[in-house]
Structure 1
């Protein structure tokens, strides 16, 4: 943006459910709101306006530095009020591809506004297993000034599916909040931890591969327990699989965990594993690193952009159960190496993926808008 414009930037952020549900995109939206509020305060701009579809008024926190309006199920009100608010804004951020039509309406009413779309992963891959691209979206996407993608993997897949120029995309990684790591609690077992919501669309996280790997580890007399945090429709399938493979005594389902219980599970773990093939970024690996754990990811998605194979974790083909079991066994057999990998990951998070980096990257996007 030109300097004179930037000094008086009015910012509007449109998002789907943000405070009323728990999930990766919801946490991302909350982080965007906090960063935009800080940036606006630092520069003396007016408070950013935020319109949230689906959330109710009761979902919105009372203390916030942004002007947030929740519209619940009132979609028409959301569109109308967003279009009116956009008339006084220079930058419009869209939190999801589903909001692209609303962004276009705002652009038609206020042609000088700059549109920035955040993209996360499978919602823009045009993969029928997750979400098909709408026929009108490639044309609408041409109105965007920038597409801020959490990974090069997601940017590449969207660019190909939507036939968009590469220069439209900019890398905008996710982030986590730093923690005070708790002392490792003594345990007589080697615990492999994985965390997922266990929704039906989470099959691509390939937790079943971890259960199958437990069969090989049992056969080789590697003493360990797979602990699965999460609750959802997939749980019953995974329970049945563990029973069918006769490893139910080696698989623990912890259900949905509070922050304190989850922190305890991390503290009791020897490593974190999720050989996913559907990660648009892989924030769970950052969280595991903050707890000092080495990680195992899949080779078929964006996680390999974050994890340095053999340095802070291992990247394994999620369908190669033999290799997956071997890497788990390697980490369990060498606690010193595992600890060094976990610390290397923690240092990577501290140097690249905290809120200060998220805010700086967002500020850079704003400054570089054409």
Structure 2
């Protein structure tokens, strides 16, 4: 049994979509499948390597400049430049099915290969590939992108949305007659060595919020920074990630005179990320829109309560008053109030923590992969 996965992202390149696809690949491997994964090449990353049992093939694209974010030329060129490698693999291997990730830019590639080699194709859509309200060039706003996405959704044999919100947006904006399956992101707990705050340079007397993600407009980090301004001085924010908005966010913290309370940690290793999570008090997701939010699963693993904006897939599993709270994006006062609520009530954090540790088990990778296989019949 063998599966061909197509995705322009794969860690360390890209964001949550690459991480989610990798976890899905690991789940297929646990179920006895061999996984070949075609993705984007970059700088010194190897053209081929075995990563945790996944056969990763990287192809050169045009104009990729950063690990964290793709350029328009790199996305446009990926399906065309990856086509040859995908065909080569299909000629020497017998695949049970193809799993394509992102309607654009990868979607067309999945359709071309599935048709050429008569293979069933499952398209996984993530949110930003069909709808991103923070971007002027969101696919649903540009007629030419909208046309491509509609063609991809209509011509992919099966479509999986990671949340009800993504399914709703696909049906609403692309007017397709399609049965879209809802299957959440696979998640396998990360094993890491627990350390104390002092080892990370953190103060045991400070209340730390933590947020992880690319520093881009859609993530709404300015919302978080403005909220921290309206909390007591002992409340600090840890921000893990890099991106084009960093200078603007640093300057905003300076303007608000809270630079000493906003800690930009940049990229950290996977182990360090979980050590920071484990030593924080509450997770804050401030995004304008989030397809699902793999970072929330990571927060749940360590038992962090969650404060999140209410637009996106996170509404499927954030249970108000049980494992977190939802606030409207841009409502600085409401976000600050929720942060203060946890800062003032230690027992609340304990109650939410136990719930999240149990809830995250529902996303176990083998369980999610079985749902994918169930689609094929």
8 A Cα contact 1:145 1:168, kept in partner: no
Shift of 1:53: 3.9
Say whether 1:313 aligns with 2:336.
Answer: no
The alignment of Structure 1 onto Structure 2 pairs a total of residues equal to 346
8 A Cα contact 1:148 1:171, kept in partner: yes
Shift of 1:293: 1.5
Q: 1:207 to 1:81 in 2, by over 3 A?
A: closer
Structure number, greater radius of gyration: 1
- In structure 2, runs of 5+ residues without a counterpart are 62-76, 140-144, 198-202
Whole-Å separation in 2 of the counterparts to 1:256 and 1:138: 35
Shift of 1:334: 0.5
Q: 1:49 to 1:223 in 2, by over 3 A?
A: closer
- Tell me the equivalent position of 1:51: 38
Instruction: Please say which of residues 321-330 and 154-163 is displaced more in the overlay.
Output: 154-163
- Tell me the equivalent position of 1:78: 82
Shift of 1:343: 2.0
Say whether 1:119 aligns with 2:133.
Answer: no
- Tell me the equivalent position of 1:37: 29
- Tell me the equivalent position of 2:5: 13
Say whether 1:177 aligns with 2:169.
Answer: no
* CA RMSD of superposed structures (Å): 2.7
Whole-Å separation in 2 of the counterparts to 1:236 and 1:116: 39
8 A Cα contact 1:176 1:287, kept in partner: no
Matches within 5 A, 1:54-203: 54=41, 58=46, 60-62=48-50, 65-73=53-61, 78-83=82-87, 85-86=89-90, 88-97=94-103, 98-111=105-118, 113-125=119-131, 127=133, 128-129=135-136, 131-132=138-139, 133-179=145-191, 182=194, 185=197, 187-198=204-215, 202-203=216-217
Instruction: Please say which of residues 156-165 and 278-287 is displaced more in the overlay.
Output: 156-165
- Tell me the equivalent position of 1:303: 314
8 A Cα contact 1:14 1:99, kept in partner: yes
8 A Cα contact 1:83 1:105, kept in partner: no
TM-score under structure 2 normalisation?
Answer: 0.81
- In structure 1, runs of 5+ residues without a counterpart are 1-8, 42-46
Instruction: Select the residue among 360, 365, 368 that pairs with 2:367.
Output: 360
Q: 1:172 to 1:273 in 2, by over 3 A?
A: closer
- Tell me the equivalent position of 1:44: none
Whole-Å separation in 1 of the counterparts to 2:274 and 2:367: 28
